[in-house]
Structure 1
C-alpha cells in the first residue's frame, strides 16, 4: 500500500475524497502532495515525489505548454486548463491548475481516449470537408441539432451573392433553418423544416432515403431556383445538404411549357391553352362566358398570291389587333391557319354580339406587310355558354358551327349560334365519315340537256352530281360537296365523276346519241395539279373524244389562282378539251381576266339573266346582248342558264345566246331517261325549244 503525503491531518484534507488524480506543487516547484489516484496516473509513489522538484521528476515537461501554464498560474494568471501530450507514454492528459497561497493544486486526468476519438472525429470532419469542397454545388454539413458543422467553398461563394441580394446567410456554427427561413416562401419553409426534421430525428429507414425539395429565391429583379437534396450520415446522425442551381432547367421547362400552350407564329394562346381557359371559365356555374370564332375570309388567296412570309406577318398583325380590341379579362388565341378564338368572360349573347361587331369593324383599316397594303375581312361565329353547359369542346364546337354559317352566308359576316347549327354540324360530321367510309358508291349523276337556241337541237348535257342517301333520299351537291372539299374527298369524287360521265357519253355516242358532256371542276383540283392527268385517264379509259368533254369552272375558283389555272387549262385546251366558265356574274373577278384564259364557253348565271329581265322591262334590255356580242367577237360560245319561262327564252334569243338550259327546256334526269327525252325531241321535229313552248302553253 502506497504512502500518501499531505499537509495536516487526513480528516482535514478534502482532496482525499476526490476520485481524480490530484497533486500540489509548492512555491518552489516541489511536489507537496500526491493522492493515490495521482500515484497511479503518474506511475510514481508519493514518497518518491513529495519534496522533489516536479520538473526534475518529469523532465519531459520542461519547455512544454504544461510548464507554461504552471508559471502563468503561479504568476497570478488565475486557474488554467491545458491538454498536453506526454511522449514517454504517448498519451494525452488534461491538467487543471488552480493557484493558491501555498502553491499550485493540479487535477490531472487521462484524456487520451477522448482526445484520440476527437482527433479522429476532426480528421474525419476534415476529410469530409475536403469531400464537400470537391462538390460542385454549395453544400453544408449539419449536426444533430441543425447547426452547420462545415460548409464548402461553393457555399461561401454563394453566400456572398446571397448577401448582396439582401438575404441573411449562414456560416459554421449557425442554425441552418433559422438563417434560411426568412428568404423562403412559407410553403417552401414548411416543407424544408419538416423534411430536415425527419432526417435529424432518425428512425427506421431514414438513412436509406433522401429529402429533395425545389425552392426559389428572389435575387434582385430575378428569381433563382435551387434543388435542396439532404441525406442523413450514419452513425453520426449528421445531415449533409447540397443546393443545386436549377434556374436554367426551370426556365427551360417554363419555356417548353409556354411553347406547348402558345402559338409559335403569333405568341397567342393555342388551341390547347384556349380550351383550358374556356374550361376554367365554365367551372363556375354562375359565370357567363362566350366564344367568338373568327375565320379570315379568302386568306388562302393572300398566301398563294403574296407568299407565306407576307401571310405570316399579316397573321401576327391580326393577332395583335384583336388583342388590343378585346376587353380586360378576355383572352384571344390562334386555333391555327387563319382562325382565331376570343374568350369573353362574364358576357351574355348581346354583349358577345357587340364585341363581334367591334372586332369586325377593326378590319376596316387595311393591314400593311412588307410595304403592301392588304385588305382583310373576317367571318365571326358567336356562341354563349348555356346554363349547365360545362364542356369546353362543346362551346368551341358551337362557335365553330356559327362561324361556318357566317362563312356560308358570305364574306365579312357575324352569325350567332342556334341549336339548328349544331344539327348542321352533326350532318357535316356524318357526311365526312360516310364519304371517307365509301359513300362514293351511293353517288349518282343526273344530266340536264343543253340545247341550241336557234334550232332547238340537243347539243349536250351538264352532269349534276347527286347523293342517293339511304335514309335521307336524293341529296343535292350543296348538302355534301363543301364537306367533301374540307375533308379532302372532293378530288377523288371528281375523279370518279370524270370517269363515270365520259363512260356514259361514250355509251350514248355508240347508241347514236353524240352529246357533249359538261363536268364541273373545283379550284381544289387546280391546287392539287392532278387535273390534266385525271382528264387524260378518263378519256383514255372511256374512249370519248377530247372535244366531246367540257370542263366547267366557276369564275371564283379560277380567280383563286389564275396563273396555275391558266397553265393547266392551256394544256387541256391543247389536246381538244373545251373549257367553260360557269356561273358568270356571281364572282368578283374582272371580265378581262376571265377572257384572258383559254376558255371556249361562257355560261351566264341565272341571277344575271333575272337582272337582265328586270332591266329589259325598263327599256335597257341591251345589257345581255352586249355580253353575248363580246363573247362572240372573241370566238367564245355563250350558254344561258336558268331559262325557266318563255320570256327568258325569248330574251336569250334576242340577245343572240348560242345555247341554253333550264327547267323550261328540260329538268335534270337520270342517265336512263336522257335517251327517251332525246327520242321525244326527234319525234317532235327535233326542236326542243318549240316542244317546250308547246308543253308550257298547255
Structure 2
C-alpha cells in the first residue's frame, strides 16, 4: 500500500476529512493514516503502515475500542463511542465504518469537552443533592427553560405546585401552566425570561411571585422564588406552599371586615360600602343610597334574664332574618351590641320607608332559642342621602338620630330622618359631654307638694331635678335625663340628688317643717349595685330619719332586672326607707312581679286619670277605685299624680286615693319658695285640697 518514495498512501476520499483517520485491514494492520492521525497516535506514517495496531498499542487490546472494531468487521455496521485511552490519559470520540476488506476509523480528541461535561454533570449532581435538602418543590432549569433536575418534593408532588410534575428534559412552563390563571402564568414566564436575559456574570436580581393553583377540589397558594446560578445560565426555581399562611391572612382580613358573632359586615365595612354608594351618586330618576338603623328594644333585659348565650343566638337569628328581607344589591351589617344597619341602594324616600317597615315586620314572629320563644321588637331609623351627600358617617348619624327618635316615641316604631333630628342629636352630644364635666354643678332641685286627701295637709314633696343651663336657661328633666340614662351619668346625678334632698329635708325638719322627701331612682342604679351604699351615705351625712325618705321607681325600671331590684330594695326597706312605684299604668310588668317588691306607695299616672275620664264621661271613680282597692288590700298607699282640674280632684277623692299631687294643688317650686308657700297654706286653713276645690289656687309669690 505504500508509495514508491515511502510517502503516506493517498486516499482521496479520506484526505479531505477534518478528523484523524486511519484504516485497518482484516488482520488489524494499518493501511492508511492521515496527518492528523499521526499526530494523535504519536507515531509517524512509516512506523504505522503495515504494522498491526495491537502490536503498536498493546494498552488498547481487549478494550472497548478493540471490541467495537471487531464488531464492525463482523457485521459491517457503523459504531460511534467515546473512549478513554489510559497511556495518553485522554478521551477520544471514535467512529468506526466498514471499509472492505477492512474498516476506517475517524477519531478526535474530545478530552476538554468530555471533562467539561463531566464537571457539569458533577456540578449537576451537587446541585441535585442541594435541591434534595430543600423541603420545598425545587427544579433546576437550563437556558431553554427545560428541567435539568428536580428534588423529590417536586417529583412526588408532596406540595402540589403543579398538577403533573414535569420530568427532567420537559418544558418547565408547560408543566406549571395547568391550574394557573393566565395572568400568573404570564408573570412567571416574564420573570424567568428576565433572569435568563441578564448578562453573564451579572448579579441578576431574583424573581418572586405568589400565585394560587386551583384543582377541581381545592385551591393552594405558593410562593415562587427564582434565581440564576452564579456564572451560568441555569435557573433555580423553588415553590413554597403558603396555603396555610394565605388562608390565615384571608381569615384575618375577613374578621377585620365582619362581625364575629353574626358573620355580617361590621361597622367599618358598611361605612366603606356606603361611601362607595354615595360616590356613585343618585341615579337618573333621583334614587340614591339610604341607611336603616335597627336597635332591638329592651335587649339588655333579655341578656340579663336569659343569659348572653341565648342573647347571642337571638342576635344571629335577627341578622339572618334581616338578610333574608333585603333586596338585591342591599347589604346588612351589625354595628355592635344590639344594633343593625342596612344599606339600601337606589332608594327614594318611599322605597326606604317600605323597606324599613318590611324589616320591622321580620320581628312579628317570636325567635326560638334553647327551647323557648322570645318576642323581640326594634326601633327603626331611616335616612335617605341627599344628592350632594358624600359623607357616610353623617348619613349613619342621621339614621341613628331617627332611630333614637323612634325609640323615644315608645319603641317598635319607624321614624324617617328630618333636619330637626340632627339638631336633637347634637344636643344629646352636648348633654352627654357636659354631664361628664361641669353640668352637675348647674343642677337645681324643684319640689312639688304631695297632699293628703283626707285632711288636705301637705305630707311631703317630690324632688324634681332641673338644669340651669348657662345659655338655654332652666331646662326640664325631659331634655337631659334620657341622655344621662344612656351614658350612665344618671348614677352620679342621683348620688348628688340624694345628698342634696336629704340635706334639705333635714334642714326643713329642723325648722319645724317635717316633709317626707321623694326621690326618683333609675334602673341603672340597680345594675351598678351601689344604691344601698349611696342611700345610706346620704342619710348618714344629712342626719335625716330613714322613714322620711321615699325612693320612687318606675315599674318599667323595676321590670328590667326584678331580682336585683328586689334584693336591694328589701335591704333599704328593712333600714326604714320607704319605696314607691311611680307612673303606675305606663309600664308592662306583671302585678304579681310588681307587688312582690317591698313597696309602700303606688303612684297612679296621670294617663289613667285622663283615660278614665274619657271612657266614663267624667265619672271615672269606679275605674280608679278598683286600682285603689287592690293597693289597699296589699297595705299599699295610693297617690294620684297629675291632678290638674277640680274634676280630677273629685274623681280621685271618690276613688279613695290616699294622697294627691298635681298642678291644681301646687306647682314644682325652688327650695327657698317652699316654706313661704306652706305658711300661706297654713294661714288659709291648712287644707290644700279645699283651697283647690274652692278654685282659690295658692300662688308661689310672697
Partners of 1:199 and 1:207 within 8 A in 2: no
Q: Matches of 2:419 and 2:446 in 1, distance apart?
A: 33
Aligned counterpart, 1:422: 422
Match of 1:235 among 225, 228, 231: 231
Aligned counterpart, 1:546: 546
Q: Matches of 1:206 and 1:401 in 2, distance apart?
A: 67
Aligned counterpart, 2:582: 582
1:346 aligned counterpart, secondary structure: strand
Aligned counterpart, 1:519: 519
Q: Tell me the TM-score normalized by structure 1.
A: 0.93
Aligned counterpart, 1:248: 244
Partners of 1:271 and 1:334 within 8 A in 2: yes
Partners of 2:380 and 2:403 within 8 A in 1: yes
Partners of 1:199 and 1:206 within 8 A in 2: no
1:583 aligned counterpart, secondary structure: strand
Moved more, 127-136 or 252-261: 252-261
Partners of 2:665 and 2:697 within 8 A in 1: no
Partners of 1:168 and 1:183 within 8 A in 2: no
Aligned counterpart, 2:617: 617
Q: Deviations over 1:535-587 (max 9, x none)?
A: 11111111111111110000111111222111111110000111111111111
Q: Tell me the TM-score normalized by structure 2.
A: 0.93
Partners of 1:334 and 1:340 within 8 A in 2: yes
Partners of 1:505 and 1:516 within 8 A in 2: yes
Aligned counterpart, 1:327: 327
Q: Matches of 2:301 and 2:161 in 1, distance apart?
A: 58
Spell out the pairing of 1:492-511 with structure 2 (5 A cutoff).
Answer: 492-511=492-511
Aligned counterpart, 1:59: 58
Partners of 2:136 and 2:159 within 8 A in 1: no
Shift of the alpha carbon at 1:162? 7.9
Aligned counterpart, 2:195: 199
Partners of 1:141 and 1:151 within 8 A in 2: yes
Shift of the alpha carbon at 1:90? 2.0
Shift of the alpha carbon at 1:606? 1.2
Moved more, 687-696 or 207-216: 687-696
Aligned counterpart, 2:376: 376
Shift of the alpha carbon at 1:681? 2.3
Partners of 2:200 and 2:232 within 8 A in 1: no
Partners of 1:584 and 1:603 within 8 A in 2: yes
Q: Matches of 1:286 and 1:628 in 2, distance apart?
A: 60
Moved more, 191-200 or 278-287: 278-287
Q: Matches of 2:228 and 2:549 in 1, distance apart?
A: 88
Partners of 1:226 and 1:245 within 8 A in 2: yes
Aligned counterpart, 1:7: 9
Aligned counterpart, 1:557: 557
Moved more, 183-192 or 36-45: 36-45
Partners of 2:153 and 2:159 within 8 A in 1: no
Shift of the alpha carbon at 1:618? 5.2
Distance 1:116 1:527, change over 3 A: same
Spell out the pairing of 1:668-687 with structure 2 (5 A cutoff).
Answer: 668-687=668-687
1:648 aligned counterpart, secondary structure: helix
Distance 1:671 1:543, change over 3 A: same
Partners of 1:5 and 1:50 within 8 A in 2: no
Distance 1:206 1:300, change over 3 A: farther
Q: What root-mean-square deviation, in Å, do the aligned CA atoms of Structure 1 and Structure 2 show?
A: 2.4
Distance 1:108 1:180, change over 3 A: same
Q: Matches of 1:537 and 1:168 in 2, distance apart?
A: 82
Q: Matches of 1:160 and 1:432 in 2, distance apart?
A: 59
Spell out the pairing of 1:331-346 with structure 2 (5 A cutoff).
Answer: 331-346=331-346
Q: Matches of 1:194 and 1:347 in 2, distance apart?
A: 48
Structure 2 residue 257 is matched with structure 1 residue 272: no
Aligned counterpart, 1:92: 91
Distance 1:402 1:623, change over 3 A: same
Partners of 1:138 and 1:152 within 8 A in 2: yes
1:662 aligned counterpart, secondary structure: coil
Shift of the alpha carbon at 1:615? 4.3
Partners of 2:612 and 2:618 within 8 A in 1: no
Distance 1:567 1:162, change over 3 A: closer
Partners of 1:270 and 1:334 within 8 A in 2: yes
Q: Matches of 2:177 and 2:374 in 1, distance apart?
A: 59
1:74 aligned counterpart, secondary structure: helix
Aligned counterpart, 1:262: 258
Spell out the pairing of 1:58-457 with structure 2 (5 A cutoff).
Answer: 58-75=57-74, 77-101=76-100, 103-158=102-157, 167=163, 169-203=165-199, 207=203, 209-287=205-283, 288-457=288-457
Q: Matches of 1:451 and 1:338 in 2, distance apart?
A: 44
Q: Matches of 1:394 and 1:171 in 2, distance apart?
A: 62
Distance 1:50 1:320, change over 3 A: same
Moved more, 541-550 or 327-336: 327-336
Shift of the alpha carbon at 1:363? 1.9
Distance 1:497 1:141, change over 3 A: same
Aligned counterpart, 2:44: 45
Shift of the alpha carbon at 1:519? 0.7
Q: Matches of 1:360 and 1:123 in 2, distance apart?
A: 78
1:183 aligned counterpart, secondary structure: coil
Distance 1:665 1:422, change over 3 A: same
Runs of 5+ unmatched residues, structure 2: none
Distance 1:272 1:4, change over 3 A: farther
Moved more, 584-593 or 55-64: 584-593
Q: Matches of 1:219 and 1:198 in 2, distance apart?
A: 29
Partners of 2:137 and 2:240 within 8 A in 1: yes
Number of residues of Structure 1 aligned to a counterpart in Structure 2: 690
Moved more, 682-691 or 85-94: 682-691
